[in-house]
């Protein structure tokens, strides 16, 4: 995997030579699928897996954190999740605007139905696996779901609150990000239905939560920590990008300018190569703002540039991106099983040699099987509720 998720020279060159004409910008977009974005989704998922392979055993059982160069090729876990959020905001907002263009309205009932059919089946299967299967596979498994407060929060998609209050609770800490998405999409479609010009809504969300993050990051407290998990600004940034792209706003020329693209690639590249060195010495709110803007810039450029999209849209990457939800959801369970079975038996060097290929490979295998046999039937039902096709 390259050290940055996008090929720098090709994207910069295309940005300079593949600009859309002014008349084209005046027309709303009718595209329904963005080739190439699945590659970014897979890269983000793989970054989270690598992050957890390194850090989760330390957080769970206080074992020594290994030194490894592999991290220099992937985003930090929090950055990868923010990339997920921006991608999600871009795609879902775009499809909702396309639905209104084609039908004159947004069906809230169908939107919630689609979300439930996509997110809930695998989400609750993960909870069931932890509740009933892991105790059979792991000796003396301290089941986090025996905590009624934690269980209630996870069932009602308050995992970000649980993350702050109960961390660690292996292997379910990662559900915090699913909760944040569900909270955001509980409200935003309603606002989009009421207000046709959704840009001020997104700008307001972005400004509010950037301000809250700046305040919360300086006031360590449970409430402040919870606010820091509410990355609604990332999804709103993606939504604002989708609004600009959908309506072909003049700002796209600025976003597509080689200077903007290069700056975004430099930001992302530095957060990958230097990772903690930058993150740990930067104000948290400022770091999140700058990186989220960089992700939004790159996503819009991939959406605009067919040549870049085709390079990123290789069949294997498209497939891996399509199963990224499963990759994200299953890998902590597989990591916990592997760690408990091998860490005290194998020499540390052997464990480190084995853990990456085994966890990454088994996660992709399980996610693929899950997509085929668990998720696909629900996706077919979800497709019945689609309006923008």
Higher pLDDT, 304 or 24: 304
Give the pLDDT confidence score for residue 29 in this predicted structure. 66
Q: Is residue 171 exposed (0-12), middle (13-18) or buried (19+ Cβ within 10 Å)?
A: buried
Q: What angle do CA 306, 308, 311 make, to 5 degrees?
A: 105
The overall pTM is greater than 0.85: yes
pLDDT in tens, 65-95: 766 778 789 999 999 999 999 999 999 999 9
Give the pLDDT confidence score for residue 48 in this predicted structure. 97
- Report whether pLDDT(269) > 80: yes
Answer whether 240's CB lies under 8 Å from 202's CB.
yes
Answer whether 162's CB lies under 8 Å from 328's CB.
no
- Report whether pLDDT(14) > 60: no
Distance separating alpha carbons of residues 199 and 236, to the nearest angstrom: 9
Which structure tokens are listed for 159? Answer: 């995992």
Distance separating alpha carbons of residues 5 and 16, to the nearest angstrom: 20
Give the pLDDT confidence score for residue 291 in this predicted structure. 96
Distance separating alpha carbons of residues 287 and 278, to the nearest angstrom: 8
> If you average pLDDT over residues 149-167, what whole number do you get?
98
Distance separating alpha carbons of residues 13 and 65, to the nearest angstrom: 41
Chain centre distance of CA 321: 11
Instruction: Report the largest interatomic distance among the alpha carbons of the chain, rounded to a whole angstrom.
Output: 66
CB atoms within 10 A of CB 142: 11
- Report whether pLDDT(24) > 70: no
Percent of the chain with pLDDT over 70: 91
* Per-chain mean pLDDT for the chain: 90
Distance separating alpha carbons of residues 139 and 151, to the nearest angstrom: 21
């Amino acid at each position: 995997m390259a050290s940055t998720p996008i090929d720098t020279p090709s994207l910069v060159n295309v940005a300079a030579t593949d600009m859309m004409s002014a008349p084209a910008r005046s027309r709303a977009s009718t595209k329904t699928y963005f080739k190439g974005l699945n590659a970014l989704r897979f890269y983000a998922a793989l970054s989270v897996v690598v992050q957890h392979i390194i850090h989760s055993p330390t957080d769970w059982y206080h074992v020594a954190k290994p030194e490894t160069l592999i991290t220099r090729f992937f985003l930090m876990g929090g950055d990868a999740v923010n990339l997920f959020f921006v991608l999600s905001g871009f795609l879902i907002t775009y499809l909702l605007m396309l639905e209104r263009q084609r039908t004159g309205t947004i069906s809230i009932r169908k939107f919630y139905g689609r979300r439930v059919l996509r997110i809930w089946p695998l989400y609750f299967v993960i909870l069931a696996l932890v509740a009933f299967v892991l105790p059979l596979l792991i000796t003396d498994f301290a089941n986090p779901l025996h905590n009624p407060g934690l269980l209630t929060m996870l069932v009602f998609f308050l995992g970000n609150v649980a993350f702050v209050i109960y961390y660690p609770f292996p292997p379910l800490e990662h559900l915090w990000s699913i909760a944040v998405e569900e909270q955001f999409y509980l409200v935003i479609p309603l606002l989009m239905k009421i207000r046709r010009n959704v840009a001020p809504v997104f700008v307001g969300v972005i400004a509010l939560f950037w301000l809250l993050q700046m305040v919360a990051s300086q006031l360590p407290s449970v409430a402040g920590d919870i606010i820091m998990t509410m990355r609604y600004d990332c999804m709103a940034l993606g939504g604002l990008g989708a609004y600009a792209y959908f309506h072909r706003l003049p700002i796209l020329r600025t976003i597509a300018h080689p200077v903007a693209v290069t700056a975004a690639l430099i930001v992302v590249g530095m957060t990958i190569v230097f990772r903690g060195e930058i993150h740990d010495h930067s104000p948290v709110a400022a770091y999140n703002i700058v990186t989220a803007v960089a992700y939004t810039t790159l996503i819009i450029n991939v959406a605009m540039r067919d040549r870049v999209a085709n390079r990123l849209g290789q069949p294997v990457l498209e497939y891996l991106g399509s199963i990224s939800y499963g990759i994200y959801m299953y890998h902590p369970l597989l990591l916990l099983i592997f760690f408990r079975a091998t860490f005290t038996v194998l020499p540390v060097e052997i464990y480190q040699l084995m853990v990456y290929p085994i966890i990454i490979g088994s996660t992709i295998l399980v996610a693929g099987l899950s997509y085929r046999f668990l998720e696909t039937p629900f996706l077919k039902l979800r497709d019945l509720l689609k309006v923008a096709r």
